[in-house]
Amino acid sequence: MKNITGIGIDIVSIHRIRKIYELHRDKFLNKIFTESEIAESTQKGHFFSSLAGKFAAKEAFLKAKSSLRLSLKQIEILSDENNKPFLSLSNKKLDNCHVSISHEQEIAIAVVVML
């Protein structure tokens, strides 16, 4: 059995993500999210919920690995063919990292567990 080496959780207001986007548009998107994350969020049909979930997962990862100094754009949150989220760091999928994202009305929450 593998040991847990880190755990992080974050909660984000979907309204806040929408408001920041309305103020800064592509500048905001390109600073925080990769092209693949933006494309996936667009395709899912719930753009702001998806972005908020990805943002929460990035923040949760930083909390789980508090010793790392990374920009949010270096952390990529995508979904596999079963719609399960996974985390990549500088284009390398982290198999020892488990991500769970949930949305409810105007809230997105994410948990990251590192093994």
SS3 labels along 52-87: HHHHHHHHHHHHHCCCCCCCHHHEEEEECCCCCEEE
Rounded Cα distance between 105 and 65, Å, is 29
Tokens found for residue 80 = 């596999």
Q: Is 98 considered catalytic here?
A: no
Q: Which amino acid is at 37?
A: E
Please pick, among 54, 65, 98, 103, the residue that the annotation labels catalytic.
103
Q: Is 19 considered catalytic here?
A: no
Please pick, among 63, 65, 73, 93, the residue that the annotation labels catalytic.
63
Residues involved in catalysis: 63, 103
